[in-house]
Amino acid sequence: MVCPDPPAAVSRRFPDGPASAAAARRFVRTALDGAARDLVDTAQLLVSELVTNAVLHARTEVEVSVARLEGRVRVGVGDRRPGRGLVPQRCSPYAGTGQGLVLVEQLASPFGADGGDGGKTVWFELWHDGPAPPSAGWETAVPPRPAERTVTLVDMPTALESAFRQHRHAVLRELTLAASAGDLLGVPPEDLVAANDVNNVISAGVSAAPAGPASESGLRTLPLPLSADALPAVRALRRVLDLAEARAGEERLLTLPALPRGRAFQNWLFDEIAGQLAGDRPTAWTVVPRAPEVSSAELVPWDVGQVRASRMPTVAADEGNRIVATNGAAADLLGWDPDQLVGRRLTTLVPEHLRERHTAAFTSMLLTGRTRIVGRSVPLPALHRDGRLIPVRLYIQTQETADGRTVFVAQLVPRATTFLDGPRTPGRIRKAAVGEPDGGRSPTVPPAGAGTPGARGGMSALDRLTLLAELGAQLNNTLELDEGLQRAGRLLTRRLADWCVVDLFTADARVDRACVVHRDPRALRPGAYEGLLPGVSEESRGPLARVLRGAGPLLLTGAPQPGQTGSALDRAYAGLFRELGAGSAVVAPLRARRKIFGALTLARAPRGRPFTEEDLTLVDDLVHSLALGVDNARLYQDTRSIAERLQRSLLPVLPKVEGLRLAARYAASSTTAQVGGDWYDSFVLPGGNTALVIGDVTGHDLDAAIAMSQLRSMLRGIAVDREEPPAEVLRRLDLANHSLHREATGTCVYGLIKGPPEGPWELTHSSAGHLPPLLTTRDGRTRYLDGGAGLLLGMDPDASRGTARDVLPAHSTLLLYTDGLVERRDEALDGALDRLRRHAADLAREPLDTFCDELLIGLGADSADDIAVLAVRPSPP
């Protein structure tokens, strides 16, 4: 709806500059003197936004007109650049930029834009007497400039694009305002002009692109129209943003630097524009190699519901270091109620000796974008509410909200359930988007009966075999049960059903709804369906209860009848059918080793081909394959948990020695089973000397752990029995090792610290093929104690061994460690040891607990090997 300016309007021109926004506000207040206060305030707010837009984007003289009519006020803001069209941004109310036109839409009606050869005018009306007429929207008479080239952005992450677009606008706005005040911050004026222009063109092109559906991971492919001569301006925009990043890192801007994923997306976007304008083919975002903190698993938009629904302990924090979401698993692990954690500082969960360094690292990440732990699996302790330290592997991802903010989503994986094939993406346990269930009736997703191989009366033999093989592969390709069930569910809903459910018995005979998958992710509310259900009681007579008792497979021609919902379990099952919608279903038991441990439900929507008796044999074959995979995954998890407990039971309690401080850490591999041959030990001999031991038996299995425990016990017995020099103790240990049924091969350092509590202290040690201890003085000097080196254990028990002697200065730190701390594939050992020296030197004055934890954080992330660390610091009373 376009209304001509009434003849009673008053107007004033303002120069191109930030001061014009404030001057325009004063002009509007004067022009509306005597009008209702809320109307005047609203008009001032909106004219301020529109003038700011004109200053930033049009960069011409601005004319503001105000008309007071009977029952309404009309305000227009005009500039002299008709070719610069409007770009309404659909941003969240919390976004820092892009709100001007949105505010007009929300607070005024009608509104619109007029254009001509000499300029354009954005106008709005405020009615205080009677209802306002509806608006026709931002229609403009200025035809858009025809694009000469089209850049195709393949698999563009929508949340990341929105976040980076707002970041670009915020940076350019701040640079423009600084330049108006005479501070160019090193940015050439001509580059800033070109950057603003082409940034508006890119944003307009993305906003105007057809709003096709995004994939489950938030990816879209869209065309970006540009002129053929846009390349120099795009390069100028890139230069300006690079300079702005540097200034932001120097804290000369209010806008924080982009985080690594934002910078990676920026580089990809500009590379695509420049490359395609030069004639290159498109390259998808998903295939570009990136660093771990950028490409940490899937690219998913932030959704608080998915965090709460995750079965893995998960905590999310914002850029202010405050917890914004957590789930029950994380709260239980750390002794809190989920609602009690939300709103607290993240340092609530950080041990006290690491808080100061955490705060410094978090601030540094926001200022520099550099991060040590995002996208990596890092062993460290978390703080329980009662003060205990919980050993976990921390895996952090950054995710973008729709309004451009960054959220840090962390999984706290207990060491007993460390990832085997890479961490799962936080919040992606269920492939669902936020939204109300539509009963499986989304018009954009065809029903299972419309396009599946079984739609025309049954599958062929080849199709059946293919489906069975694929189902087995989905579970066998991951040893994480939840992820395997999700993969299996997605396969079944693509090929056979509209939705499926897996229910499993728990240890206390209750029923756990472990997995719900729908063909249309929009049909599921995250966390609304999974979780514990009531147990199977005597009153349970519904289909699920019957199957869990051994019946089936059962064919259901509709939802369970009211008469079948006598128990809480039956009512919950019937409620699922009502919410998700089912015209027919098959329920079959999951059975392994002559025991029923769960049930599979496959359902089709009413509009699709119903299940028939012919489908029961196929479903029976499917549940056999599924049950075998679930049983194997459960057995592996049980074995892994037992192995972890065995490993930890073998780790000693460190002695308390006057004049010495001791600390130790053990972290299992991030990629292998939770048991291995790494060990440490420390004990006081009868003569008063303190023994130190670090060792590594070859292997990462139960045999290695058994051999390690035998060697550790034998070494302690030999050392206590005669209190001989370290070389002789290792010689006798090797002799004993050869007497074992399965003789072990491994490395070991055995050392003795001698000296009174007030010092001086001396270390005597011998090494059986182990990496040399590292001595770090209080002033940061480091050296490796490579004396006393000899053959590893299990090679030649008659080989001679030497003993080295070294002085330990007061407040120095002696570090014994296994190779998992330093060795990396495709890296020379000398370089790895140099890296350890640098880290130790930086931590020389830190408390011993901080020293050990920071070494694991800095060097133990993503380690493919177990890590054992033993540190000693002479500390006179």
The Cα 77–Cα 114 span in angstroms is 10
Q: What is the pLDDT of residue 451?
A: 45
Q: What is the pLDDT of residue 675?
A: 61
Indicate if the alpha-carbon torsion angle 30, 32, 33, 38 is positive or negative. negative
Average pLDDT over residues 357-381: 80
Residues 6+ apart with CB under 8 A from 604: 447, 448, 449, 497, 498, 582, 583, 584, 585, 610, 611
Q: Which of 176-180, 210-214, 452-456 shows the lowest mean pLDDT across its residues?
A: 452-456
Q: Each residue of 3-30: pLDDT tens digit?
A: 444 446 899 999 988 889 999 999 999 9
The Cα 596–Cα 630 span in angstroms is 12
Q: Each residue of 722-762: pLDDT tens digit?
A: 889 999 999 999 998 888 766 788 899 999 999 999 989 99
Inter-residue contact 315 to 349 (CB < 8 Å) = yes
DSSP label of 679: E
Average pLDDT over residues 844-851: 93
Residue 209 pLDDT more than 80? no
Q: Which of 213-217, 309-313, 435-439, 530-534 shows the lowest mean pLDDT across its residues?
A: 435-439
DSSP assignment of 338-366 equals HHHHTTSBGGGGS-HHHHHHHHHHHHHHH
Q: Each residue of 556-586: pLDDT tens digit?
A: 887 776 555 578 888 888 888 888 888 888 9
Q: Domain spanning 10-127 has what CATH number?
A: 3.30.565.10
Q: Domain spanning 650-874 has what CATH number?
A: 3.60.40.10
> Residue 6 has which token pair?
């009434």
Q: What is the pLDDT of residue 89?
A: 63
pTM of the model: 0.64
Residue 682 pLDDT more than 90? yes
Q: What is the pLDDT of residue 396?
A: 84
Average pLDDT over residues 328-343: 89
Amino acid residing at 140: T
Average pLDDT over residues 422-431: 38
Which band of pLDDT confidence, cut at 50, 70 and 90, is reported for residue 479? low
Q: Is 363 exposed, middle or buried (0-12, 13-18, 19+ CB in 10 A)?
A: exposed
The Cα 217–Cα 207 span in angstroms is 20
Rounded to a whole number, what is the distance in angstroms from the first to the last CA of the chain? 84
Q: What is the pLDDT of residue 41?
A: 93
- Higher model confidence: residue 627 or residue 296? 627
Average pLDDT over residues 707-718: 88
Q: What is the pLDDT of residue 145?
A: 53
Which band of pLDDT confidence, cut at 50, 70 and 90, is reported for residue 213? low
Residue with tokens 């519901």: 305
- In SS3 terms, 553-582 reads as CEEECCCCCHHHCCCHHHHHHHHHHHHHCC
Q: Each residue of 481-516: pLDDT tens digit?
A: 777 888 888 888 888 888 899 998 887 778 888 888
- Higher model confidence: residue 633 or residue 95? 633
Strand partners of residue 317: 323, 408
Q: Which of 676, 209, 157, 56 is nearest to 397 (CA)?
A: 157
Q: What is the pLDDT of residue 377?
A: 80
What's the mean per-residue pLDDT of the chain?
81
> Residue 170 has which token pair?
């915020």
The Cα 108–Cα 102 span in angstroms is 10
Average pLDDT over residues 574-603: 87
Q: Each residue of 109-167: pLDDT tens digit?
A: 889 888 877 888 999 999 877 777 888 777 644 445 555 789 999 988 887 888 888 88
The Cα 434–Cα 526 span in angstroms is 7
Q: What is the pLDDT of residue 305?
A: 74
Which band of pLDDT confidence, cut at 50, 70 and 90, is reported for residue 812? very high
Residue with tokens 């975002």: 285
- Higher model confidence: residue 234 or residue 572? 234
Residues 6+ apart with CB under 8 A from 797: 731, 734, 735, 737, 738
Average pLDDT over residues 417-431: 37
Q: What is the pLDDT of residue 442?
A: 36
Residue 607 pLDDT more than 70? yes
- Higher model confidence: residue 209 or residue 518? 518
Average pLDDT over residues 838-857: 93
Residue 169 pLDDT more than 70? yes
Which band of pLDDT confidence, cut at 50, 70 and 90, is reported for residue 781? very high
* CATH superfamily, with its number, for domain 304-417: PAS domain (3.30.450.20)
At CA 726, angle to CA 724 and CA 727, rounded to 5?
Answer: 100
The Cα 513–Cα 90 span in angstroms is 37
Q: Is 355 exposed, middle or buried (0-12, 13-18, 19+ CB in 10 A)?
A: middle
Residues 6+ apart with CB under 8 A from 725: 764, 766, 803
Give long-range contacts, CB 8 A cutoff, 24+ apart: 383-388: 383/334, 383/348, 383/349, 383/350, 383/351, 383/352, 384/334, 384/335, 385/334, 385/335, 385/336, 386/335
Under CATH, which architecture does the 448-640 domain have? 2-Layer Sandwich (3.30)
Residue 412 pLDDT more than 80? yes
The Cα 249–Cα 647 span in angstroms is 45
Q: Which of 203-212, 387-396, 398-407 has the highest mean pLDDT?
A: 387-396
Amino acid residing at 661: R
Average pLDDT over residues 833-849: 94
Q: What is the pLDDT of residue 426?
A: 41
Residue with tokens 């036109």: 101
Q: What is the pLDDT of residue 484?
A: 82
Q: Is 436 exposed, middle or buried (0-12, 13-18, 19+ CB in 10 A)?
A: exposed
Inter-residue contact 123 to 101 (CB < 8 Å) = no
Q: What is the pLDDT of residue 470?
A: 80
User: Phi first, then psi: what are they for 63, rounded to 5°?
Assistant: -120, 125
- Strand 789-790 versus strand 761-768 pairing type: parallel
Q: What is the pLDDT of residue 641?
A: 66
Q: What is the pLDDT of residue 769?
A: 93
Residues 6+ apart with CB under 8 A from 681: 652, 691, 692, 693, 712, 715, 716
Residues 6+ apart with CB under 8 A from 266: 164, 238, 241, 258
Q: Each residue of 521-560: pLDDT tens digit?
A: 667 765 667 778 877 877 777 888 888 888 878 888 877 7
Inter-residue contact 540 to 563 (CB < 8 Å) = no
Residue 831 pLDDT more than 80? yes
